Chains A and B, each alone.
Chain A
Amino acid sequence: DSGVTQTPKHLITATGQRVTLRCSPRSGDLSVYWYQQSLDQGLQFLIQYYNGEERAKGNILERFSAQQFPDLHSELNLSSLELGDSALYFCASSRRGQGASETQYFGPGTRLLVL
Chain B
Amino acid sequence: GQNIDQPTEMTATEGAIVQINCTYQTSGFNGLFWYQQHAGEAPTFLSYNVLDGLEEKGRFSSFLSRSKGYSYLLLKELQMKDSASYLCAVRPTFGAGSYQLTFGKGTKLSVIP
Contacts and interface: CB of A to CB of B under 8 A. Distances in A.
Interface of A: 2, 4, 31, 33, 35, 41-45, 48, 55-56, 58, 88, 90, 94, 97-109, 111
A107 B43 CA distance: 8
A10 to B, nearest CB: 11
B103 A43 contact: yes
B65 interface: no
A113 to B, nearest CB: 13
21 contacts: A42-B87, A42-B105, A42-B106, A43-B106, A45-B101, A48-B99, A55-B97, A55-B99, A56-B98, A56-B99, A58-B100, A98-B99, A100-B31, A100-B91, A101-B48, A101-B50, A103-B48, A104-B45, A107-B42, A108-B41, A109-B42
Nearest to B47: A103
A104 B87 CA distance: 13
A33 to B, nearest CB: 6
A17 B101 CA distance: 30
Nearest to A44: B103
B25 interface: no
Interface of B: 30-31, 33, 35, 40-45, 48, 50, 87, 89, 91, 94, 97-106
Contacts of A100: 30-31, 50, 91, 94
Contact of B102 (A4, A45, A94, A97): A45
Given A42-B103, A100-B94, A103-B33, A90 B42 contact: yes
B99 A97 contact: yes
A56 B44 contact: no
A4 B104 CA distance: 23
